[in-house]
Each structure stands twice: as C-alpha cells, then as structure tokens.
Amino acid sequence: MTSTALAGETGKKLKDAAVLNAALSWSQELLDAEARRLDAAPAGVLSGTSVALKDNLVTTDHPTTCASRILQGYVSPFEATAVQRVRDAGALIAAKANLDEFAMGSSTEHSAYGRVLHPLDHARVPGGSSGGSAALVAAGVTTTALGSETGGSVRQPASFCGVVGVKPSYGRVSRFGLVAFGSSLDCISTFGPTTHHAAQLLCAISGHDPLDPTTRAQPPLAMPTAPKDLRGVVIGLPREYFPTDLHPGVRAGCDRAIAALRHLGAEIRDVSLPNTGLAVPTYYIVNPAEAAANLARFDGVRYGPRHIGPEGDVRALYRATRGQGFGPEVRRRILVGTFVLSAGYSDQYYRRAQAARQLIIDDFHRVFAAGVDLLFTPTTPTPAFKAGEKTDDPVQMYLADIFVCPASLAGLPALSLPVGRDQGLPLGGQLMAADFNEAAMLSASMALESVLDATAEVR
Ligand code: GLN
C-alpha cells in the first residue's frame, strides 16, 4: 500500500473509531503530511505500518497534553528520541493516544478529556494508563502503538484489550521526550497485535541515546526469531502470583498457556518470589515521591495555560495554575509523594520503600541465578472491569497492578500476550526475563502464540 493510501485508510479508521475516545489528536492534514514525508524518505523496517503515540511522548506536529488540562494545547519544540526513531524507520505517525492524566492510573478513566472505551465492551475500561494506545491497536485502527510503563501501564491494558504489550529493560529505550513521571521506573513500551509487531517496534526504538544518560551503552535490540520449540528453556511459575482465590477465568487462561509451554518442551518449575506482596505498597510510595518531584515543573511559567490567581503574586500563580490544571489522581500523587518525602516521614516511608524495592529486586536475581530463564504469571488479577467500578476506591485501582509492578520496580523486561478469553473478554499471560534478556522473552512469546489460539474461551 502506498503511504498516501495508508494515510487515507488510517484517517477513515480513526473517524470510525471516534466513539472509543482513544485518540486525543489526529487530523487528515497531518496524516497526509506524514504520507508526503514518507514518500520522500527511504523505506525502513516499519514502512507500511501506522503507529499511535501515547500523548506523553513529545512531538513537534501534534500537541502533547498528557491528558491534562495543565498542558492543554502545549506543542513541544523538539521530538522524543523514540518518536524520531519510529519516523526514521518508515512508519506513519497516526495519532496521539488518550491516557490517564500524566500516566497515573490503571483504567484510562483519569483523562481530563474523557475516558477511553473498551473496544469489545463499551461499558468496560481498556486498562491504563496507556488505554488509548491499547484500544487503537485492539480495534485495528493502527498497526502498533507506543505506550509508557511506570508500573505496568502497557502490559495491563494489553491484557484487557487482547493485544501484546512489551516493556523493555530500564535503560533499553531512551526516555528523552517522554514526559517524566517516575524517573527510576519509566520505560517507553510497545503494543502490537502479535509479538512480532510489538518486538519490531521495540527493536526500532531501542539503543543508546546520548540525550538520555540512563540509556545503557548497548547496541539496538536485534529482531528475535520464532523458535521451533522451547526445549532447554526453564520457565518458573512464582507461586505468589497464583493465589488460591485467583479469578477462575484468569487461572484457566494461564493453565492453558502453561500446558502449551510444556507441550513446546519447556521445563516448568515452581519458584518463589517471597517479597511480591511488598510490591504494590512499595510502588505506591516510590512512584508518588518521584511524581511529586517531576510534576513540580508545571508551575504556569514554563508550560501550558497560565492562571494568575486573585492575589496576582507568584504563589497565587502556582495555586491557581496547579489547582485548575491537575485532576484528582494527580493531586493525590503529589500530596502522597510530598508527604512521604517530608522531613520526619521520609525515613518511615520513602527509605523503607527503597529497602523493600531492593528485596523485590533480590528475589528476581535469586530465581534467575538459580537457572530459571523466564517467569510466567497472569498479567492482571481479573479481565477488564466495568467503568466506574474502582474510581471511588484508589486502593482497589492500585491493586489492579499487583502482578505488573514488581518487574517495573526491578527494571526487568516483561510482556503480556493474549492467552484466551473469559466470557468474551481477553485474558493476558505475562512473561518476565532477567535484565536485558528481551530476546529470550520475545522468542518464547512467539512460540507460545503460535500454539495458542488466544481467542478460545477458557470457561
Ligand atoms: N497503574 C500504575 C499507576 O497508576 C501504572 C502507571 C504507569 O505504568 N504509567 O501508577
């Protein structure tokens, strides 16, 4: 298909899918400009594909709002490294995708521009915070999408929407141009309809970037191949991720996947990650602490709309701009983060959370050092939940991250792939690997995918 045809078709699909509220910014003019750019450039590995970008990745053509009123209409003077690499690889940038405000959430209900609808059941959420990206790929609007993970925000919506979501190791992909949320956790991550698609996009954006000193001095990830079988691969099942009260559909989906892994020749081993229970409380201290620090930059002086406030002094400017600009979840994180870092409390909360984070990291190291190549778990405790179900109870919302935030705290690569359906709703299985071992994880996912018909009902 020519770039012009792809731009036309993508515009039509975006229009038809408008009800999902998954795209915050797109226009046929920008799509056509993309087509002209592609026609003038050499072909690349992503030629012929369209990519949606979570709206916390800065772009010079579209505005970047982070789904917040505080950045309404903001246009970046520079482009994120990952976005530049996607363009250089020949992809058509299709749209900026909706998200939970500043990527805070697990349902994409916390967007200042309205919630995103689950493509298969509009009464449900697509997961979050990269729910717009996940929904666009699941609905077939774009070939792939970029999202961001701080604590599971690509794997969790991938699981809910029935697509593949891949979070790389921390430092594999440049964070330059990703609006900072939790700087020790943030990873740009990819969505695709299959592992192959998500892996190809990840390979294109990976590799060292002098503009982000936390990227590791490693060559870009090479595209893995699908193995014939998984003979010789040891896959651990951490018992903490399979509690006796696990949702029966989720369990059935995982059981099918585990049987398929065995069938492929993998050795399945029971393992333990004893500090898993600390992950959610640890994450919800470390994350708000970093968020509160990062979001201090939105002060009405440098970015977005400015509200002067009645007194007209600088404090009134901060109060009015931040008071009107930030939604409730963002305020909650700033309050919690400021509290856990404050004098007299930081030893009790922040420092203890850092110690707990180390215990979680040590658990993973121990298991991988004992000869386990990969870990397999459910991605989420339940299939997609109903809109409004958890918005009044932040702790219930936070618990949706229980299986995804450990790998984020440890900086490890992890992915979610569809393993079946429960009453029509997709179920995700998670693979996790040791630091910078994306290749083994992606290969295993390709093998598993080839033997699982992920649309099969499990109950
Ligand atoms: N749900 C998590 C949170 O709200 C994850 C966010 C993310 O990964 N961006 O913090």
Evaluated on CA atoms 26, 174, 145, 401, the torsion sign reads negative
Distance from Cα 156 to the centre of ligand 1, integer Å: 9
* CA distance linking residue 172 with residue 436, whole number of Å: 8
Q: Is the CB–ligand 1 distance for residue 290 below 6 Å?
A: no
- Residue found under tokens 């179920």: 427
Q: What is the percent of the chain with per-residue pLDDT over 90, rounded to a whole number? A: 96
pLDDT at 310: 87
Measuring CA to CA, which residue among 360, 409, 435 is closest to residue 185?
Answer: 409
pLDDT in tens, 220-231: 999 999 999 999
pLDDT in tens, 138-173: 999 999 999 999 999 999 999 999 999 999 999 999
pLDDT at 410: 98
Burial track 420-457 (b if 16+ CB lie within 10 A, e otherwise)? bbbeebbbbbbbbbbbbbbbbbbbbbbbbbeebebeee
Average pLDDT over residues 318-337: 97
pLDDT in tens, 88-139: 999 999 999 999 999 999 999 999 999 999 999 999 999 999 999 999 999 9
Phi, psi dihedral angles at 300 (to 5 degrees) = 85, -5
Q: Is the CB–ligand 1 distance for residue 294 below 6 Å?
A: no
Q: Give the atom of ligand 1 at the shortest distance from the alpha carbon of 283.
A: 10
- Residue found under tokens 């390979």: 203
pLDDT at 268: 98
Check whether 175 has a pLDDT greater than 90. yes
If you average pLDDT over every residue of the chain, what do you get? 97
pTM for the full predicted model: 0.98
Check whether 309 has a pLDDT greater than 90. no
Distances (CA, A) of 194 to 73, 91, 98, 201, 394: 34, 17, 22, 11, 32
Which positions are annotated as active-site residues? 54, 129, 153
Distance from Cα 42 to the centre of ligand 1, integer Å: 37
Q: Give the atom of ligand 1 at the shortest distance from the alpha carbon of 401.
A: 1
Q: Give the atom of ligand 1 at the shortest distance from the alpha carbon of 284.
A: 10
Grouping H, G, I as helix, E, B as strand and the rest as coil, residue 107 is coil
Distances (CA, A) of 287 to 175, 290, 293: 16, 5, 10
Q: Is the CB–ligand 1 distance for residue 182 below 6 Å?
A: no
pLDDT in tens, 361-417: 999 999 999 999 999 999 999 999 999 999 999 988 888 899 999 999 999 999 999
pLDDT band at 436 (very low <50, low <70, confident <90, very high): very high
pLDDT at 304: 87
pLDDT at 240: 97
Cis peptide before 129 (omega within 30 of 0): yes
Check whether 283 has a pLDDT greater than 90. yes
pLDDT at 459: 87
Average pLDDT over residues 61-76: 97
pLDDT band at 260 (very low <50, low <70, confident <90, very high): very high
Q: Is the CB–ligand 1 distance for residue 337 below 6 Å?
A: no
- Which residue owns the Cα nearest ligand 1 atom 4? 105
Q: Give the atom of ligand 1 at the shortest distance from the alpha carbon of 104.
A: 4
Phi, psi dihedral angles at 342 (to 5 degrees) = -75, 155
Q: Is the CB–ligand 1 distance for residue 59 below 6 Å?
A: no
pLDDT at 417: 98
Q: Is the CB–ligand 1 distance for residue 401 below 6 Å?
A: yes
Distance from Cα 129 to the centre of ligand 1, integer Å: 6
Q: Is the CB–ligand 1 distance for residue 157 below 6 Å?
A: no
